[in-house]
Chain A
């Protein structure tokens, strides 16, 4: 910017260079710039944004819910199975910590579009399969019922994926799932139960997703009022009765930010009652911890 104005004033006259040379030089310069800029314009078109926000989660292609259970239960042939890309299974194995499919035997596999026949051990009766399918359908329906105006697609996608994963894993394994041996808890991380054929999500995980969804939707926190700190985390523990009613809320850890703690408590209160606890969970109440943090808040 320095002094350029002076040059512009004496553009053709003052520099002592003959106008013709000036024009030629500018012409060449302009052409070069035009080429460069043109290239910049066109190149980005060929670069597609890669990845999706959930690449760290389960990588399963979505399918629609089955219409009806298949025909005769015997002989795995008519049991439909969607095509799961082999790589997706692998991805699931690698990226997702293994989950024990804590689904009791009565879960069955719903029928889907047949892509290829897979021989399955026909150990699960269609009745059981249907029941499980219904269970899953219910869970999904309940979730969908609570769709507000601005339902985060991401969450519903996540739920969908998990649902599908349950279906798929069961189909793949085809085994009876270890029963509801009350181990005192339902640990999330477990080793493979010998099936080794990829991991799967249990009904409880779907339930946890529902809990997350409802409470998060109800969580109102003004960053302007309470501040934003990566360290702020309140941990509350709730006990949910089988009908979904929250019978107890207590603090396992206060964040040190009274407003944050209060907002977390309210979020839980507003979410009462939660959806009913899955039948498969046959304890008196379901206890779960909720970790509220502001780390995810971004500056606008």
Chain B
């Protein structure tokens, strides 16, 4: 009987502690989201969620690192850079989205979902093999292919423009399989 009561006591102590830490972390998460969506309002939030005894301590010193606005801005910039720097690649003479391509597009759709104001132009490109005329058409099919997939993931089509450059703007002027593979792409440009 004595053991049991010790256990109950331990539990009684443990559970509130757990709850306490859990609620703390939740609040921190909330604070982050609010950072992203509403940079203006973020200042009072951490103060509110922090343990009451030390409000003065928090307010007093200047923030050493970047401000929350800056962090948010940097995060957005990084996300948009990722959007631009990561191309969607295609197989030879094809506008079909491979599994890898779809994964890349899913990432992009999430970024687009997060930053709803962002507009994008999707460029369709081809490798230099094949003839200019047909490649211009193929480039457009690739851009459209990427766009349609994003739309199916919930992105508003009005945010997505497409343009084909055919084989006219390669990123790699090489004449080997690797170079060609790099050129067969849908490339994203943010407005």
Q: State if A and B touch, Cβ cutoff 8 Å.
A: yes
Which of A's residues lie within 8 Å of B, judged by CB? 1-6, 8
Q: Which residues of A contact B98 (CB under 8 A)?
A: 3, 6
Q: Are B178 and A8 in contact (CB under 8 A)?
A: yes
Q: Which residues of B contact A3 (CB under 8 A)?
A: 91, 98
Q: Are B100 and A6 in contact (CB under 8 A)?
A: yes
B25 lies within 8 A of chain A by Cβ: no
Q: Which residues of B contact A2 (CB under 8 A)?
A: 91-92, 94
B62 lies within 8 A of chain A by Cβ: no
- Tell me the complex Cα distance, A1–B100, Å: 16
- Tell me the complex Cα distance, A8–B98, Å: 16
- Tell me the complex Cα distance, A2–B93, Å: 9
- Tell me the complex Cα distance, A133–B94, Å: 77
- Tell me the complex Cα distance, A8–B178, Å: 8
Q: Which 4 A-B pairs have the closest CB atoms?
A: A5-B181, A2-B91, A1-B92, A3-B91
Interface residues on chain B, size class: 10 to 19
Interface residues of B in 97-117 (CB under 8 A from A): 98, 100
- Tell me the complex Cα distance, A1–B181, Å: 10
Residues 157-183 of B, flagged 1 when their CB comes within 8 A of A and 0 if not, give 000000000000000000001101100
Contacts A/B (CB < 8 Å), 17 sampled: A1-B91, A1-B177, A2-B91, A2-B92, A2-B94, A3-B91, A4-B177, A5-B89, A5-B177, A5-B178, A5-B180, A5-B181, A6-B89, A6-B98, A6-B181, A8-B177, A8-B178
- Tell me the complex Cα distance, A201–B43, Å: 117
Minimum CB–CB distance for B50 against chain A, Å: 44
Minimum CB–CB distance for A126 against chain B, Å: 77
Question: Chain A CB within 10 Å — which of B91, B98, B178, B180 has the most?
Answer: B91
Q: Which residues of A contact B177 (CB under 8 A)?
A: 1, 4-5, 8
Question: Chain B CB within 10 Å — which of A3, A6, A8 has the most?
Answer: A3
Residues 77-96 of B, flagged 1 when their CB comes within 8 A of A and 0 if not, give 00000000000010110100
Minimum CB–CB distance for A2 against chain B, Å: 4
Minimum CB–CB distance for B188 against chain A, Å: 20
Minimum CB–CB distance for A108 against chain B, Å: 72
Minimum CB–CB distance for A4 against chain B, Å: 7
Chain B residue at smallest Cβ distance from A3: B91
Q: Which residues of B contact A8 (CB under 8 A)?
A: 177-178
Chain B residue at smallest Cβ distance from A6: B100
- Tell me the complex Cα distance, A8–B180, Å: 13
Q: Which residues of B contact A1 (CB under 8 A)?
A: 91-92, 177
- Tell me the complex Cα distance, A166–B150, Å: 89
Chain A residue at smallest Cβ distance from B179: A5
- Tell me the complex Cα distance, A175–B89, Å: 88
- Tell me the complex Cα distance, A153–B99, Å: 66
Q: Which residues of B contact A5 (CB under 8 A)?
A: 89, 177-178, 180-181
Chain B residue at smallest Cβ distance from A10: B100
- Tell me the complex Cα distance, A5–B178, Å: 6
- Tell me the complex Cα distance, A118–B60, Å: 133
Q: Which residues of A contact B178 (CB under 8 A)?
A: 5, 8
Q: Which residues of A contact B180 (CB under 8 A)?
A: 5
Minimum CB–CB distance for B125 against chain A, Å: 15
- Tell me the complex Cα distance, A2–B95, Å: 12
Give 5 A-B pairs besides A1-B177, A3-B98, A8-B177 with Cβ atoms closer than 8 angstroms: A1-B91, A1-B92, A3-B91, A5-B89, A5-B177
Q: Which residues of A contact B89 (CB under 8 A)?
A: 5-6
- Tell me the complex Cα distance, A165–B92, Å: 64
- Tell me the complex Cα distance, A218–B70, Å: 90
Chain A residue at smallest Cβ distance from B91: A2
Q: Which residues of B contact A4 (CB under 8 A)?
A: 177
- Tell me the complex Cα distance, A10–B92, Å: 18
- Tell me the complex Cα distance, A1–B180, Å: 11
- Tell me the complex Cα distance, A6–B91, Å: 9
- Tell me the complex Cα distance, A4–B178, Å: 10
Chain B residue at smallest Cβ distance from A1: B92
Question: Chain B CB within 10 Å — which of A1, A2, A5, A8 has the most?
Answer: A5
Minimum CB–CB distance for A1 against chain B, Å: 5
Chain B residue at smallest Cβ distance from A4: B177
Chain A residue at smallest Cβ distance from B129: A1
Chain A residue at smallest Cβ distance from B96: A2
- Tell me the complex Cα distance, A6–B88, Å: 12
- Tell me the complex Cα distance, A52–B39, Å: 92
Chain B residue at smallest Cβ distance from A5: B181
Chain A residue at smallest Cβ distance from B180: A5
- Tell me the complex Cα distance, A5–B181, Å: 6
